[in-house]
Structure 1
Amino acid sequence: MKKMLFISPREPVNVAGGGLYKTKRLLAYFCEKFQVKEFYLTESNPVSQENMYQVKINDKKYQPTLANLIGSYIEGVPLSVYRNTPEDFDRERFNELASWADIIFVDHFFMYQFVPDSFAGKIIFHEHNAEFNIWERRASIEGSILKSLLLKREAKRVFQYEKKSALASDLVFAAPNDIACLRNAGCDSASFATTYHLGEDSLLDTAPNNFKDLGNNLVFLGGLDWEPNFNGVLWFLENCWDTLRSETNGEVQLHLIGKISEQQKDQLSEYEGVVCLGFVDDLNDALSQAKVFICPLQFGSGMKVKNITACYKGLPIVTTTIGAESIEFVDGENCLIADQPKEFVNAISSLLGSNELCAEIGANARVMSEKEYSWDEMLNSMYLEIIK
């Protein structure tokens, strides 16, 4: 049995969705196929175990501040890499782990900094997103000219780091749209293989929602510590929420599931009808209270795990074009796609006003997800690519 060193930003615990959910599923699968040792960064006290090495990040350094941006320029690395570089790092211990392994699986681009130059085994690079594309898209919607220029500059720095990492890897896993994006940008000589970012497929075994018995509840799933998520929620609240509240005589709520800071809760408390659920013990129970799932992302990359999870549950989804990327969505058939505030409101209103449409769109989404997005098939495919 081959030996794998699995390196990822966070140990996959307290998972509510998103990239961390995929990390959890990948790790469980790899532990069945390989001898696995793990390496993580942590915000709390590191845990010492025989097969796991954790190192604490510097809280001050981790903040996305101007001082840290300047520090990243001094170090000559992208801000994401700089923020995730621990100061108390036992390189000798890590190199011992690396020398033990036949394979290093790098989960997220900024973890590539830990791969030893001398490593002679197989390097597998798992892109959760084409990271530079997120920075480019963020720059495109930024109102400040100075901030937009800084974001564009950061996108170039991130791309150079991603390109170097991809070309140095034996295999790069990415979602279809990210592979196309990276190739078009200049990573065409890297060795790519397709992966999908899938959701909580146990929801396929749950009963579909009885929409006629539900109130006008919307739901969003995703940690608000991820900027595209928080930005998307704020865009929705600032541009769509008042109209929806008016149309429903205030009888509409937005439930937010996932990591939410106290500061964000205070900010969101300005909007009536917004319920911050945070982490939930039973995801099915929380989603069973919703009539419509929203994904109002304005920038981002890769497949959106939140949308696949909603499909598994059979929820009707209103999403943006960016939210729909790499998923077999057909507007009006298994989802509703809208990019402008008025269109987004109209799409939600059409679902709130028709239980039959909710059931039809949701059922089509569920059928599509069950047919196209199987964890077993994807994981087996990844395994076969790794052992070639």
Structure 2
Amino acid sequence: MDGAGASGPGGGADGRRAGPGPGRDVGRAPARPRKGGGLPALVGQHAAAPGGRRPAADGHRRQPAPGLRPPAGERRRGRLPSPAGAAGGAGAGAGLAPGPGAGAGGRLERGARGGGREHHRRPGRPAGPARPAAVGRLRPAAGRGPGPLGPAPGRRRPRCPGPGAGGRPGRPARGFLVHRIGLGGDGRRRLLPPGRLGAPRPGRPRPAPPLAEGRAGVRILFLTHQRPWPARGGGLIKTWALVRHLQERAEVELVCLESLATGEAPLPRPRGAATLLASYAARLPLSVYRNWSEPIAGRVRRRLEEGFDAVVADHIYTAPYVPDDFPGRKLLHLHNVESLVWQREAKLERHPLRRWAVALEARRLRRFEAAQARRFQRVFAVSEEEQRELLALGLPPERTGVLPNVPLPGLLERPPLDYEAAAPRVLYLGTLSWRPNQRGLRSFLAEGMPALRRLLPGASLTVAGASPPPWLSRLAASLDGVQMVGPVDEEGEEALYRSSRAFVEPVRGGGGTKVKVLNALARGLPVAATPDGARGLEAVPGRHLLVAEGPQALAEAVARLLATPSLWRQMAAAGRELVRLRYLPEVAFRPLVEELGLS
């Protein structure tokens, strides 16, 4: 899943940054106003200011011409055409005659030839060597230089790598945008496929796989609170799959809140009593307040002013960052209905004071979700059960939809597992820092594993996942037949799948649908789960997986899978078929594609 590209942000084929060539005049980039259908169009260009660039009031950030909105392409660096493009695109409003490739009234047709681009530099910075004209660019989410999200004069902001980047030596990497389509020297729209922008630094996560070339037209800003690569958790797997699927059909820009938190306190804010009290003062639910920042909201607003046709807010945490006056389509994707998660936590909490506080937070979240959902044209849940919760919030059915979770890509293409080649081993693979997972594992280890060992003395359990709490490691070490291996990479996961005969999901509480269960079904490893583990999936108990309530009953279900080859083979085939029919991106994400008019 690694990917490698050929150039860095704003650079040529060798990845190095290049400045403008000597003696080149500078024109204006074509504007992209919104038309009735919300699709961008190339129109007449603005005239150039004396000296080839628009005067800047503060000597750093270029200002819009009076009465004209700067085109989206110009508000980013490196989108200025050459003299040929300026002559060919300037309309009568600029006092220039239309040049070659210009239509009536100075309109520049899509197929017309335009000019190259010049790298913008701050005043006093010497020009570098000329850069190739027809080269696309990747833009970092919080990159240095002028623009809506540029830093204040005299201050440098860390550069963010592209989705295949390892970062530049000596500069921290905090986030990325998926891609941006630029205007090449031949006037045609080009996409530079993202890839490796530099050698990965030691300790850095490996580069993201390259994205397929997107189809120009609809511009979508995808707003999420967390970098989705590496996609090691259920939510990140879903987010990354959504971004890749949309990018195959439109021009997508990914903005991560944590990558914009430069110069402020990092997001999310830490848990604790002080954060809880501050959330009450801010009149926001705790989980929303931990991901809220007023300065970042202003940066997102300015980013949205660059001419996007739609914004997709990923998770309820990002919903308040979308302004009410955004003119395009506003869509909200909910990984969970958060108020449901807190309601279930309140029911499972034993301490009276904590139970009261959790129930109060659930009510705060429900009011917040109802208010935010009404601000979006369409709200998507991950299951029909959670869609019904959206209807209970007061949304009409036509403004709700379902985007099911999907497993990791490529699992269905791998060869089937072999029952005889595996030991009577049970596998658990999930995020060990999440409280519903911890609660379920504690119960299964304490009561379920002794029961399973009584039924099958040779049975064992392997627990794999990131961030296990110390008490869980101690509990696993004290039990016979239990092995704790911690986090594993893709090759380690495949080795665990091949050496196991069953997957157990003992989770209690939580919300949404469990991606780890979809991963096991897609790989052909039969699953035994609690009702919370199977919640929301279109799986038939007894056909696609086994469902049991309580650790003793769950141990008996696991023992059936370990000791019955015919049942194992039937469920392995049925689970893969279910994923193939319902949980591939082409099927699961169709409602979102249709909502954006990309089908």
Q: Taking structure 2 as the reference length, what is the TM-score of the superposition?
A: 0.59
- Tell me which moved more, 263-272 or 211-220: 263-272
Does residue 202 (structure 1) correspond to residue 410 (structure 2)? The answer is yes
Deviation at 1:337, TM superposition (A): 0.3
Instruction: Identify which of 566, 572, 579 aligns with 1:362.
Output: 572
- Tell me which moved more, 370-379 or 317-326: 370-379
Does residue 335 (structure 1) correspond to residue 545 (structure 2)? The answer is yes
**Percent identity over paired residues:** 26
Does residue 97 (structure 1) correspond to residue 303 (structure 2)? The answer is yes
Equivalent residue letter for 2:276: L
Would the aligned equivalents of 1:39 and 1:54 in 2 still touch at CA under 8 Å?
no
Which residue pairs with 1:133 in the alignment? 340
Does residue 323 (structure 1) correspond to residue 533 (structure 2)? The answer is yes
Structure having the higher strand fraction is 1
Deviation at 1:235, TM superposition (A): 2.8
Which residue pairs with 2:501 in the alignment? 291
Query: d(CA) in 2 for partners of 1:286 and 1:55?
Result: 39
In structure 2, the residue corresponding to 1:211 is in which secondary structure? coil
Which residue pairs with 2:246 in the alignment? 30
Deviation at 1:132, TM superposition (A): 0.6
Query: d(CA) in 1 for partners of 2:550 and 2:592?
Result: 37
In structure 1, the residue corresponding to 2:374 is in which secondary structure? helix
Instruction: Identify which of 348, 367, 372 aligns with 2:582.
Output: 372
Does residue 109 (structure 1) correspond to residue 109 (structure 2)? The answer is no
Which residue pairs with 2:283 in the alignment? 76
Structure 1: gaps of 5 or more residues:
47-52
- Tell me which moved more, 267-276 or 100-109: 267-276
Rg larger in structure = 2
Query: d(CA) in 1 for partners of 2:336 and 2:410?
Result: 24
Deviation at 1:270, TM superposition (A): 4.0
Deviation at 1:229, TM superposition (A): 2.4
Query: d(CA) in 2 for partners of 1:57 and 1:225?
Result: 26
Query: d(CA) in 1 for partners of 2:346 and 2:398?
Result: 26
Shift of the 327–142 alpha-carbon distance from structure 1 to 2, 3 Å rule, reads same
Equivalent residue letter for 1:98: L
In structure 2, the residue corresponding to 1:204 is in which secondary structure? coil
Query: d(CA) in 2 for partners of 1:348 and 1:60?
Result: 40
Q: Alpha-carbon deviations, 1:39-93, whole Å to 9, x = none? A: 2133xxx4xxxxxx56588469733222221221111111101111247x44443
Which residue pairs with 1:279 in the alignment? 488
Structure having the higher helix fraction is 1
Shift of the 94–239 alpha-carbon distance from structure 1 to 2, 3 Å rule, reads same
Does residue 260 (structure 1) correspond to residue 467 (structure 2)? The answer is yes
Would the aligned equivalents of 1:201 and 1:309 in 2 still touch at CA under 8 Å?
no
Query: d(CA) in 1 for partners of 2:240 and 2:254?
Result: 12
Query: d(CA) in 2 for partners of 1:293 and 1:185?
Result: 36
Mapping of residues 110-259 of structure 1, within 5 Å: 110-174=317-381, 175-188=383-396, 191-249=399-457, 251-256=459-464, 258-259=465-466
In structure 2, the residue corresponding to 1:219 is in which secondary structure? strand
Q: Alpha-carbon deviations, 1:122-153, whole Å to 9, x = none? A: 11100111111111011111111221111111
Shift of the 264–18 alpha-carbon distance from structure 1 to 2, 3 Å rule, reads farther
Would the aligned equivalents of 1:314 and 1:365 in 2 still touch at CA under 8 Å?
yes
Would the aligned equivalents of 1:16 and 1:279 in 2 still touch at CA under 8 Å?
no
Equivalent residue letter for 2:246: F
Q: Taking structure 1 as the reference length, what is the TM-score of the superposition?
A: 0.89
Would the aligned equivalents of 2:226 and 2:256 in 1 still touch at CA under 8 Å?
yes
Which residue pairs with 2:524 in the alignment? 314
Would the aligned equivalents of 1:268 and 1:274 in 2 still touch at CA under 8 Å?
no
Shift of the 181–106 alpha-carbon distance from structure 1 to 2, 3 Å rule, reads same
- Tell me which moved more, 179-188 or 167-176: 179-188
In structure 1, the residue corresponding to 2:528 is in which secondary structure? strand
Would the aligned equivalents of 1:166 and 1:190 in 2 still touch at CA under 8 Å?
no
Deviation at 1:193, TM superposition (A): 1.4
Which residue pairs with 1:49 in the alignment? none
Q: Alpha-carbon deviations, 1:290-340, whole Å to 9, x = none? A: 211111121122222111111111111111112212222222222110112
Query: d(CA) in 1 for partners of 2:551 and 2:469?
Result: 27
Deviation at 1:213, TM superposition (A): 2.3
Equivalent residue letter for 2:551: P
Query: d(CA) in 2 for partners of 1:66 and 1:21?
Result: 31
In structure 1, the residue corresponding to 2:331 is in which secondary structure? strand
Equivalent residue letter for 1:276: V
Mapping of residues 7-22 of structure 1, within 5 Å: 7-22=223-238
Which residue pairs with 1:3 in the alignment? 219
Would the aligned equivalents of 1:55 and 1:86 in 2 still touch at CA under 8 Å?
no
What's the RMSD between the two structures over aligned residues? Answer: 2.4
Q: Determine which structure has greater relative contact order: mean sequence separation of CA pairs < 8 Å that are 6+ residues apart, divided by chain length.
A: 1
In structure 2, the residue corresponding to 1:33 is in which secondary structure? coil
Does residue 383 (structure 1) correspond to residue 383 (structure 2)? The answer is no
Equivalent residue letter for 1:33: R
